[in-house]
């Protein structure tokens, strides 16, 4: 039974991309495909002898249902030169960002491109960065054709203005790695040279003692001057600003360690603490490195430039010509095709404009415009190609202004982290203990012991474990979020997340999914009429027709004669002696009817039966999520859309929630500010450009995106739409992560107290320090990693 | 026991050579992409196996 079920499921999946097959008809070589795009890719690969692609992974492709973009602008040498890495007479090297790279088949196929086209000389994939570096012969294979080759096999490169603008971010060598290497090298060596002293030396070996001491000191010098230099700089800056960060006691500890070691070696009174110094710097540098984790393939700092296309088609007397955006002038006539974005404020000259502004304003339904009306930049045309005349340059258009608005800027967030908070007190207490111990022994009359106790306190209480606790906890949390498709910008943002007490949601695209629509029918249909309608709509491949067929949920075998489809308008069919007309109000000559959203009218015979309305459906698990949040958070909704779904939302949100509609981007920002003035810690959860200001203003901005490679506004975290229902778990887990930091702080304090009890007596031996330091470090690292993962398991993350 | 000084000198020198080797590897980009080579190395084997059939 199970086997049969599995068999059925297998057949239902597209051979190329693994999506469910909703309509049959695409079949080749006994393989079913979900769409023509997938089948074409299969055929291209089959013809090129690349069947291997399907052998490494099941369903290695990505869905190809989305419309293809126009790449004709790549023929413009001006644009092309900005994209390529290197070019000479014979060959060009270019690096593409290809979001579709996701499995080993992708690597194999892209690195074997030369088999498909011999003019590709070499290609190399960087899987983590999702980049492919391709060397090709541009005399035989123009750049545009190379891009089309990639598009044909389902690997559309993402080319945006920000890529064009990108400055060579290559060879960005991390000096931290070099510092860690040097510190590790010195640590290992100085430890070896300290062993003889720890194990005790015979009388005849004493002559080596000072030699080992000087060698150790030589290893300590680069650690002090090179590896630890950042800590001294940071401590200096923070002292200058009269606030104490954790780098102050760290730098103090490092300096005292070196000075005391140098003093002991030179005066030959002891072996010094160089190995402790090296291990300390080595460990805290590793902590820093762990914290600096970056996402290569996700950008949190995107701006409008990556939202706009690279080029736009300008109509000139000599025909169409792609022009890069920066060269668009007032008065240019531009052509915007279906699914393209309007790059500048322009007047509509020709064509039926139905502009989808959902990303810019939050309105969920396309706005139709009449000839001569101004269309603001940022909208996406749905329907036929339109002609426009540019009235404002890109730099001054509505969207760009919105983005460059002063109020949107200058929100450099300063997250108050636990470590920053605690380090003030820590430093003061530490210094107090050190001076007290020194004073005690000085009064007692032993200056040596006073110096010993003073330095020992500063050495032993050096907050190495404390400096490691939050990087290790939070980076473990970061990778757990990452696994659950929640991409947080940095570790400080997780701590910020734990302080949040107010959640503000956007509506369109955030709590509703642009991919899922639900359909409603106003009117009444008999079963027979349903069958007629089904027979009609079945013939159309328009997404709305498919939705209607799904909604009708009847089967019919009524033969259809004289079926006609009018793109963008509707369709007619004759069947069972009746004429069925389905389409827009204009198409059915109904006249103006006040409706919202996409509306499809139905007429059977002479009678108007009613109309279908399409709405974005709520994301899966929305009600449960809100229910989870209710007891612990204030919940609000601010939408740029109208309030037509207020009743449905009232049922989901608690009664205390503010549900505000028709808000402009600036008003959204203002609302967030108002909540903050009430002393709330606000998290904004939005998706579009209209939320950009609010996302930045809020204490924490989370952008929801169904495809993380697509454009999302600048924010602190990006949430994949799939994981939307886990949001409450994410918030709870962030609180636990902070709890782990507090606990590990307790542990490191315990170690400090043990160490201090010896240190204030002035009897700390180098061996004691050399053992205590690594032990406390290892304890903290393993404790934080284990506890964080344990909490994650409890939240089922 | 003067040999100790020479031995220690040699061992430190050797360790320095390894440190330099690490710097060179880091600079030449060997650590830029630590994942893809692990996948890439598997491809050739499978093709050979297939041809053998």
Does domain A514-618 fall into CATH 3.40.50.11890? no
Q: What is the pLDDT, as a whole number, of residue A182? A: 95
- At A278, the pLDDT band (50, 70, 90 cuts) reads very high
Q: Do A177 and B15 touch (CB under 8 A)?
A: no
Nearest neighbour of A181 by CB, restricted to B22, B34, B47:
B22
Q: What is the mean pLDDT of residues A290-318?
A: 74
Could you read off the pLDDT of A143-159 as tens digits, one per residue?
A: 888 988 888 888 888 88
Q: Do B35 and A129 touch (CB under 8 A)?
A: no
Q: If you compute the radius of gyration of chain A from its CA atoms, what whole number of angstroms results? A: 33
β A502-505/A634-638 pair status: parallel
Task: Kindly tell me if the per-residue pLDDT of A594 is higher than 70.
Answer: no
Which residues of chain A neighbour B47 with C-beta distances below 8 Å? 52
- At B5, the pLDDT band (50, 70, 90 cuts) reads confident
Q: What is the pLDDT, as a whole number, of residue A731? A: 95
Nearest to A79 by CA among A144, A146, A137, A129: A144
Q: What is the pLDDT, as a whole number, of residue B52? A: 39
Give the range with max mean pLDDT: A241-245, A268-272, A485-489, A615-619. A485-489
Q: What is the pLDDT, as a whole number, of residue A68? A: 62
Q: What is the mean pLDDT of residues A23-49?
A: 78
Contact A322, A76 (CB under 8 A): yes
> A130: distance to nearest CA of chain B, Å?
10
Could you read off the pLDDT of A452-466 as tens digits, one per residue?
A: 888 888 888 888 888
Could you read off the pLDDT of B7-36 as tens digits, one per residue?
A: 999 999 999 999 999 999 888 888 878 888
How far is Cα A176 from Cα A289, in angstroms, rounded to an integer? 7
Nearest neighbour of A107 by CB, restricted to B23, B34, B40:
B40
Substitution target from A50, A176, A181 for chain B, most B beta carbons within 10 A? A181
Which residues of chain A neighbour B32 with C-beta distances below 8 Å? 126
Which residues does residue A368 pair with via DSSP β-bridges, in sequence order? A354
- At A196, the pLDDT band (50, 70, 90 cuts) reads confident
Which residues of chain B neighbour A49 with C-beta distances below 8 Å? none
CA distances from A478 to A292, A379, A634 (A): 11, 35, 25
Mean residue pLDDT across chain A: 83
Contact A33, A27 (CB under 8 A): yes
> B33: distance to nearest CA of chain A, Å?
6
Angle at A479 between CA A295 and CA A184, to 5 degrees: 80
Task: Kindly tell me if the per-residue pLDDT of A405 is higher than 70.
Answer: no
Q: Do A215 and B27 touch (CB under 8 A)?
A: no
Q: Do A125 and B42 touch (CB under 8 A)?
A: no
Task: Kindly tell me if the per-residue pLDDT of A100 is higher than 80.
Answer: yes
Task: Kindly tell me if the per-residue pLDDT of A771 is higher than 90.
Answer: no
Q: Do A189 and B15 touch (CB under 8 A)?
A: yes
DSSP 3-state of A677:
helix
Nearest residue on chain B to A129, judged by CA atoms?
B33
How far is Cα A537 from Cα A570, in angstroms, rounded to an integer? 10
Nearest to A136 by CA among A150, A122, A151, A152: A122
If one looks up domain A485-512+619-731 in CATH, what number appears?
3.40.50.1000
B43: contact with A, CB 8 A cutoff:
yes
Domains A309-393 and A514-618 share a fold: no
Nearest neighbour of B19 by CB, restricted to A108, A171, A181:
A181
Angle at A104 between CA A102 and CA A109, to 5 degrees: 95
How far is Cα A396 from Cα A399, in angstroms, rounded to an integer? 8
Q: Which ipTM value was assigned to this complex?
A: 0.85
Task: Kindly tell me if the per-residue pLDDT of B46 is higher than 60.
Answer: no
Annotate A526-563 with DSSP letters as a single string: -HHHHHHHHHHHTT---HHHHHHHHHH--------EEE
Q: Which of residues 19-38 of B touch A (CB under 8 A)?
A: 19, 22-23, 26-27, 29, 31-36
Q: How many CA atoms lie within 13 A of A532 on its CB side?
A: 21
Task: Kindly tell me if the per-residue pLDDT of A770 is higher than 50.
Answer: yes
Please count the other Cβ atoms lying within 10 Å of the Cβ belonging to residue A446.
Answer: 13
β A659-660/A634-638 pair status: parallel
How far is Cα A90 from Cα A348, in angstroms, rounded to an integer? 44
Annotate A278-320 with DSSP letters as a single string: HHHHHHHHHHHHHHT---SS--S---HHHHS-SEEEEEETTEE
Q: Which residues contact A128 (CB under 8 A, 6 or more apart)?
A: A296, A297, B33, B34, B35, B36
Q: Range with the lowest mean pLDDT among A111-120, A232-241, A300-309, A365-374?
A: A300-309
How far is Cα A123 from Cα A59, in angstroms, rounded to an integer? 23
Contact A399, A376 (CB under 8 A): yes
How far is Cα A611 from Cα A581, in angstroms, rounded to an integer? 11
Contact A41, A61 (CB under 8 A): yes
Q: Which residue has 């300096």 as its token pair?
A: A255
Q: Do A107 and B22 touch (CB under 8 A)?
A: no
Nearest neighbour of B39 by CB, restricted to A55, A127, A181:
A127
Q: What is the pLDDT, as a whole number, of residue A354? A: 83
Four-point Cα dihedral A109, A114, A119, A123, nearest 10: 60
Which residues of chain B neighbour A189 with C-beta distances below 8 Å? 12, 15
Could you read off the pLDDT of A645-683 as tens digits, one per residue?
A: 788 888 889 888 889 888 888 888 889 989 999 999 999
B13: contact with A, CB 8 A cutoff:
no
Nearest residue on chain A to B12, judged by CA atoms?
A189
How far is Cα A287 from Cα A513, in angstroms, rounded to an integer? 39
Substitution target from B15, B24, B39 for chain A, most A beta carbons within 10 A? B39
Handedness of CA A346, A351, A354, A359 (dihedral sign): negative
Substitution target from A95, A103, A107, A222 for chain B, most B beta carbons within 10 A? A107
How far is Cα A362 from Cα A514, in angstroms, rounded to an integer? 11
How far is Cα A670 from Cα A131, in angstroms, rounded to an integer? 40
Nearest residue on chain A to B36, judged by CA atoms?
A127
Task: Kindly tell me if the per-residue pLDDT of A242 is higher than 90.
Answer: no
Nearest neighbour of A208 by CB, restricted to B4, B43, B47:
B4
Burial (0-12, 13-18, 19+ Cβ within 10 Å), A409: exposed
Q: What is the pLDDT, as a whole number, of residue B49? A: 45
- At A24, the pLDDT band (50, 70, 90 cuts) reads low
Give the range with max mean pLDDT: A22-26, A688-692, A698-702. A698-702
Could you state, in order of their start, the residue ranges of all structural domains in chain A?
A: 2-56, 72-165, 174-292, 309-393, 485-512+619-731, 514-618
Handedness of CA A668, A672, A678, A682 (dihedral sign): positive
Nearest residue on chain A to B11, judged by CA atoms?
A189
> A104: distance to nearest CA of chain B, Å?
6
Class of domain A72-165: alpha beta
Which residues of chain B neighbour A111 with C-beta distances below 8 Å? 40, 43
Could you read off the pLDDT of A336-370 as tens digits, one per residue?
A: 887 788 888 889 988 888 888 777 776 767 778 88
Residue A94 or A416, more confident: A94
Task: Kindly tell me if the per-residue pLDDT of A408 is higher than 70.
Answer: no
pTM, two decimals, is 0.80
Q: Do B36 and A215 touch (CB under 8 A)?
A: no
Task: Kindly tell me if the per-residue pLDDT of A10 is higher than 50.
Answer: no
Domain A309-393 is of which CATH architecture? Answer: Distorted Sandwich (2.70)
Helix A104-111 vs helix B36-52: crossing angle, to nearest 10: 80
Structure tokens at A568: 């963008």
What are the b/e assignments for A486-508, b being 16+ CB within 10 Å? bbbbbbbbbbbbbebebbbbbbb
Residue A403 or B41, more confident: B41
Nearest residue on chain B to A173, judged by CA atoms?
B27
Task: Kindly tell me if the per-residue pLDDT of A561 is higher than 70.
Answer: yes
Q: What is the pLDDT, as a whole number, of residue A302? A: 66
Q: Which residue has 């000198």 as its token pair?
A: B9
Task: Kindly tell me if the per-residue pLDDT of A516 is higher than 90.
Answer: no
How far is Cα A575 from Cα A99, in angstroms, rounded to an integer? 46
Q: Do B31 and A126 touch (CB under 8 A)?
A: no
DSSP 3-state of A752:
helix
């Amino acid at each position: 039974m199970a086997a049969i079920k599995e068999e059925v499921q297998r057949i239902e999946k597209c051979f190329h991309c693994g999506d469910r097959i909703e309509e049959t008809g695409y079949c080749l070589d006994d393989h079913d495909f979900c769409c023509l795009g997938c089948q074409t890719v299969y055929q291209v690969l089959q013809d090129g002898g690349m069947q291997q692609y399907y052998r490494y992974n099941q369903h290695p492709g990505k869905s190809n249902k989305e419309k293809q973009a126009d790449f004709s602008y790549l023929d413009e040498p001006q644009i092309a030169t900005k994209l390529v890495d290197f070019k000479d007479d014979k060959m060009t090297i270019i690096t593409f960002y290809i979001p579709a790279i996701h499995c080993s088949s992708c690597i194999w196929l892209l690195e074997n491109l030369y088999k498909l086209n011999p003019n590709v000389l070499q290609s190399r994939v960087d899987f983590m960065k999702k980049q492919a570096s391709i060397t090709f012969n541009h005399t035989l294979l123009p750049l545009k054709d190379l891009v089309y080759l990639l598009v044909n096999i389902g690997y559309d490169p993402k080319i945006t203005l920000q890529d064009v603008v990108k400055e060579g971010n290559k060879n960005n060598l991390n000096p931290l790695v070099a510092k860690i290497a040097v510190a590790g090298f010195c640590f290992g060596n100085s430890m070896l040279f300290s062993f003889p002293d720890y194990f005790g030396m015979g009388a005849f070996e004493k002559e080596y003692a000072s030699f080992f001491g000087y060698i150790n000191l030589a290893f300590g010098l680069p650690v002090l001057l090179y590896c630890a230099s950042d800590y001294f700089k940071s401590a200096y800056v923070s002292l200058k600003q009269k606030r104490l960060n954790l780098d102050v006691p760290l730098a103090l500890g490092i300096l005292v360690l070196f000075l005391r070691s140098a003093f002991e070696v030179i005066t030959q009174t002891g072996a010094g603490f160089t190995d402790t110094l090296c291990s300390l710097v080595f460990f805290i540098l590793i902590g820093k490195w762990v914290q600096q984790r970056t996402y290569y393939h996700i950008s949190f700092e995107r701006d409008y430039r990556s939202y706009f296309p690279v080029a736009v088609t300008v109509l000139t007397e000599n025909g169409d010509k792609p022009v890069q955006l920066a060269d668009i002038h007032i008065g240019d006539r531009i052509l915007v095709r279906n699914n393209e974005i309007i790059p500048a404020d322009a007047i509509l000259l020709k064509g039926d404009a139905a502009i989808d502004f959902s990303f810019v304003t939050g309105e969920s339904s396309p706005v139709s415009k009449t000839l001569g009306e101004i269309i603001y930049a940022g909208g996406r045309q749905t329907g036929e190609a339109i002609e426009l005349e540019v009235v404002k340059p890109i730099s001054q258009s509505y969207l760009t202004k919105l983005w460059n608005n002063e109020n949107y800027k200058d929100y450099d967030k300063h997250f108050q982290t636990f470590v920053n908070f605690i380090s003030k007190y820590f430093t003061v207490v530490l210094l107090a203990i050190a001076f007290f111990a020194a004073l005690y022994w000085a009064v007692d009359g032993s200056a040596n012991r006073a110096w010993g106790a003073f330095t020992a306190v500063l050495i032993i209480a050096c907050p190495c474990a404390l400096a490691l606790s939050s990087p290790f906890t939070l980076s473990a949390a970061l990778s757990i979020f990452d696994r659950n498709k929640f991409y947080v910008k940095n570790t400080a943002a997780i701590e910020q997340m734990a302080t949040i007490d107010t959640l503000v949601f956007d509506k369109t695209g955030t709590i509703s999914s642009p991919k899922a629509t639900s359909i409603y029918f106003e009117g009444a249909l008999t079963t027979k009429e349903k069958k007629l309608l089904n027979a009609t709509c079945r013939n159309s491949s328009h997404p709305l027709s498919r939705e209607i067929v799904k909604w009708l949920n009847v089967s019919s075998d009524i033969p259809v004669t004289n079926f006609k489809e009018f793109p963008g308008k509707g369709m007619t069919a004759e069947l069972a002696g009746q004429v069925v007309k389905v389409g827009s109000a204009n198409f059915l000559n109904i006249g103006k009817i006040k409706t919202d959203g996409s509306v499809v009218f139905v007429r059977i015979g002479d009678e108007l039966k009613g109309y279908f309305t399409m709405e974005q459906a709520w994301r899966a698990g929305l009600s449960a999520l809100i229910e989870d949040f209710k007891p612990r958070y204030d919940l609000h909704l601010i939408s740029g859309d109208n309030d037509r779904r207020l009743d449905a939302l009232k049922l989901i949100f608690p009664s205390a929630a503010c549900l505000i509609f028709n808000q402009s981007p600036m008003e959204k920002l203002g609302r967030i500010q108002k909540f903050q003035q009430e002393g709330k810690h606000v998290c904004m959860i939005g998706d579009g450009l209209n939320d950009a200001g609010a996302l930045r203003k809020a204490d924490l901005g989370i952008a929801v995106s169904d495809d993380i490679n697509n454009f999302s506004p600048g924010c602190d975290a990006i949430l994949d739409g799939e994981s939307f229902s886990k949001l409450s778990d994410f918030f709870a887990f962030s609180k636990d992560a902070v709890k782990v930091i507090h606990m590990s702080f307790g542990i490191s304090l315990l170690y400090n107290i043990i160490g201090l009890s010896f240190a204030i007596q002035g009897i700390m031996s180098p061996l004691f320090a050399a053992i205590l330091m690594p032990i406390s470090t290892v304890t903290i690292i393993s404790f934080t990693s284990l506890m964080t993962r344990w909490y994650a398991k409890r939240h089922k993350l | 026991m003067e040999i100790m000084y020479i031995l220690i000198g040699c061992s430190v020198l050797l360790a320095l050579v390894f440190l330099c080797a690490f710097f060179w590897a880091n600079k030449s980009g060997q650590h830029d992409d630590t994942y893809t080579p692990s996948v890439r190395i598997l491809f050739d084997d499978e093709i050979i196996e297939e041809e053998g059939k």
